[in-house]
Structure 1
Amino acid sequence: MEWDVQVFALAAVAVAFAGVSKGGFGSGAAFASAAILALVMPPGQALGIMLPLLMLIDLATLRPYWRRWDWAAGRLLILGALPGVALGVGLWQVANDDVIRFLIGAIALAFVAWRLAEARGLIRPSLRRLGPGWGLAAGLTAGFTSFVSHAGGPPAAVYLLSGQTDKTTFQATTVLVFWIINIAKAVPYGVLGIFTAETLTANVVLAPFALFGAWAGVKAHFLVPERTFFLLTYLLLSITGAKLIWDALA
């Protein structure tokens, strides 16, 4: 596709938004960036552009949260995520662009529905940490959804937030977990041709926006209420999710 001024501006904002989310708010909403890009380009290209930038953001945010994670919980999520990534590879080999658009859109709307249900008290986080089996299952789901839409944050959050994990431990653990998951995704992305010369060129151009977003996210983690950030996220995901499903079915 051609990169005009509007597409570049949209990509720059989307990438910066991913940096803010991963740098300060637990990675859960970072996949909105891939959903936004999938509105104006093939979903495979959107995912291929975002993965190296997400990996760059991972590196930029590791140091501020170094060793502040919950390793026991993170290890379970990582162990579960690796076969989840393999499932994503299997789906990718048989799915077309419209299937991926539909999945990205459905995951976006499911994320909004889950958070609204939490806000209304229909879903309550467990007061005790869920068992190891739940951690592996959450990791499996996170690995799969991360591969097909960079949307591994919500299932990981369900597990991590059980037992009332504090905000910084939660944030640090998601940084660690998705740093490793994204590394695991990179090899199959290359083999499947999701990375191209065009996506790598876009990475070079958009990298400063990713780093700026990561820096802003770390600062915002200590300054900005989560409610304000996620209200904007819900609106973006509702619009983009519905549009992607419409385009896939049309």
Structure 2
Amino acid sequence: MELLILALVGLGASFVKSAFGLGAGVLFGPVLALFLEPRLAMGMTAPIMFLSSVAALGAHWRRWDWPLLRRLLPTALFGLALGSYFLAWTPATSVRRAIGLAALAFAAAQTVRLQRQDGEAPDPPDGPVRAARERPALQQAAVAALLGFGGGIVSGIAHSGGLFFSMYLLPRLGKAAFVASLTLTLFVVDTFRLVSYWYLDVLESRHLALSLPCLPLMLLGGRLGKALGGRLSDRGFARALILMIAGTGVALLVR
């Protein structure tokens, strides 16, 4: 049963990431936490999230922005350690509620972002990026520290920190650099999450062994996502995903 669950998660994660550039952990982590003990759900899916990040890294090699990542990653890793400890030592009911709140926060933020995109006139190509880059250095460092810390905590609890990282990177980078920088950020976070989960006994050796047979399905999911991504409506899919995440978050809170 565990192998079947991981295979489906691997297929879905690769498809979603390839087709729409979305971190699939924000959906699959909360959904699995509905049916499994939260520590088990997060431990089982951590290797899959790591492998999906490795698969995506090559396509964006060396296009990332190191100066921005140097501000973001230190507090992200500190927050990740705290989030991992919370997952490991907090009762399952409290963890489910925390995951549910993270899912609802993600759904709310994504809904606001989509509404703003629908209601605003297009900006000049480099307008928002230039404005964000011209803010005082101390202010930029504070924003990076805050969003990195929040993203790290949520990543440790529910694989959902990409929202916080995107809030920092997106206004400051063009599309190619943003995707590459977010991909590298998630790769670093996913790598250190494996270490922290292993140290805290959230991740077990059988989870690593079970993830290896999922590689062919992950490759298949990536190919399907690349083939179908241009035929599917990004906004329609995003809205459906938001509804699923919000519904899962509510279910976790009331369980």
| Same fold? TM cut 0.5 | yes
Query: Could you tell me how far apart the structure 2 residues matched to 1:138 and 1:23 are?
Result: 25
Q: 2:146 aligns with which of 137, 144, 148?
A: 137
* TM-score (normalizing by structure 1): 0.84
Query: Which residue is equivalent to 1:160?
Result: 169
Aligned twin of 1:187 = 195
In the alignment, structure 1 residue 40 sits paired with structure 2 residue 35: yes
- Alpha-carbon deviations, 1:160-193, whole Å to 9, x = none? 1214x33332221111011111111112211211
Q: Work out the CA distance in 1 between the residues paired with 2:149 and 2:214.
A: 30
AA in 1 matched with 2:178: F
Please say which structure displays the higher CA radius of gyration.
2
Letter in 2 for 1:227: R
Find runs of 4+ consecutive structure 1 residues off by over 6 angstroms. Answer: 122-126
Q: Is 1:241 aligned with 2:249?
A: yes
Give how far 1:220 is off. 5.7
State how far apart, in whole Å, the 1-side matches of 2:205 and 2:75 are.
32
Aligned partners of 1:117, 1:62: CA distance in 2, in Å?
29
Cα distance in 1 between the residues matched to 2:230 and 2:72: 26
What per-residue deviation string (whole Å, max 9, x for no partner) do you get for residues 117-154 of structure 1? 22333999993226122112211111111011001111
Counterparts in 2 of 1:168 and 1:225: CA distance versus 1, 3 Å: farther
Match of 2:186 in 1: 178
For residues 238 and 11 of structure 1, what CA distance do their matches in structure 2 show? Answer: 22
- Partner in structure 1 of residue 50 of structure 2: 55
Q: Which stretch of the first structure deviates more once superposed, 199-208 or 66-75?
A: 199-208
In structure 2, the gaps of 5 or more residues are none
Identify the structure with the greater helix proportion: 2
For residues 36-56 of structure 1, the C-alpha deviation after alignment (integer angstroms, 9 at most, x for no partner) is 111221111111111111111
Q: Is the 8 A contact 1:17 1:30 kept in 2?
A: no
Question: 2:59 pairs with 61, 64, 78, which one?
Answer: 64
- Mark the CA change 1:214 to 1:141 in structure 2 (over 3 Å): closer, same or farther: farther
Amino acid at match of 2:64: W
